[in-house]
Amino acid sequence: MDLARQRVLITGGTRGIGLALARALREAGAKVAVCGRDVERLDWLRSDLPEIRALHCDLAQPTQLVGFVARLHHDFGKPTMLVNNAALQFNDLWLETDPQQVVDRSELEVRVNLTSALQLTALLLPDLLAAEEAAIVLLSSVVAFAPKRSAPTYSATKAALHSFGCALRYQLAQTRVRVVEVVPPLVDTEMTAGRGKNKLSPSAVAAAVVQGLATGESEIFVGKARLFRWVHRLAPGLAARLVKDS
């Protein structure tokens, strides 16, 4: 894939992996837009990184998506690559958490991590199908294959995103639209603050994604996730134990 010819939209692109991807793809020559809900971060992007188009959209609000797509077309143009990166994670032990809090948090996680990705993909698919070369990139996780005990809803959304990507890849096999799943290990972001050791940097993930996109990979396992992939294939029980309390 010639990244210099791509027009990329990245959800959740104001920090963490999303921001690192925006920088890396822009450096590779792509035109890049990001969307996020944090107005201060969007203003910072417009000031410090004006080469990246910063657009407001709260993916937790389903009524915003159609209007956002219209603004995207007007302010940025029709994308040729969609990177579904936005995600939330709440670490809730259901037996110890207020049921209504579990309901509210789970609804938000499903909405941001999964439903918005499916809906935005559907809304932008006509743009992608019209492009000479296009891609839908899904930021997954090792917990899509071996769930984490303290994050059942997050794990479920990533497993569903993996399944969605596989099925959509079947449907788009005869088109010019690639479906790419990215599986990073534990990454040093705000979401993982206080958890785990030897975390990978967002810039390292972004570099691996850019390389994988350029070389035509459909599944990009990054860093320790590459080892996890083989452990999961050969000894799924061991893989499950490694991730369960990570």
Residue 25: CATH number of its domain: 3.40.50.720
Please tell me the least confidently modeled range out of 7-11, 51-55, 121-125, 190-194: 190-194
Residue 193: the pLDDT is: 56
Catalytic-labelled residue, pool 68, 90, 145, 154 = 154
3-state secondary structure 199-213: CECHHHHHHHHHHHH
Is the per-residue pLDDT at 137 higher than 70?
A: yes
Please confirm, yes or no, whether 154 is among the known catalytic residues: yes
The residue segments making up the domain with residue 86 are 3-244
Query: Which residue reads 């609000």 in tokens?
Result: 61
Query: Which residue reads 């939209």 in tokens?
Result: 9
| pTM for the structure as a whole | 0.93
The predicted-structure confidence for 216-237, as pLDDT tens digits, reads as follows: 999 999 999 999 999 999 999 9
- 197 is written with which tokens? 């050791």
Mean pLDDT of 33-56: 94
Of 89, 70, 105, 88, the C-alpha closest to 11 is 88
The domain tally of the chain equals: 1
Mean pLDDT of 89-109: 93
